[in-house]
Amino acid sequence: AVDAVRARTLDEGTVVHELRTVHPGLQELTYLARAITPGTFTLPPTELIGVYEPAVRARSAMNTLRVER
C-alpha cells in the first residue's frame, strides 16, 4: 500500500522503496518511468529484501518492455 512507503530513491536503472511495514500476501508497488528511446528492453526482476529482517524476501518475474514512437 502507498501509505507503507516511507521513502523512494530513484537512481539511473534503480528504484528503491523504503517501507514502514510489509504485510503477508500480495503487495503492489508502482512507479512511473519516461521512455526516450524506442526499442525492446528486458526488465530485471524486482527484489525485496528486509534490511532489518533478512527472512523477509520476495522476487518478481523478469519482464519485457516495448517502447514505440
The per-residue pLDDT for range 29-54, each reduced to its tens digit, is 777 778 889 999 988 888 888 877 77
Q: Are 15 and 43 in contact (CB under 8 A)?
A: no
- Which pLDDT score, from 0 to 100, does residue 35 have? 82
Buried b (16+ CB within 10 A) or exposed e, 31-44: eeeeeeeeeeeeee
Sign of CA dihedral 44, 12, 18, 51: positive
pLDDT of residue 68: 92
pTM above 0.85, yes or no: no
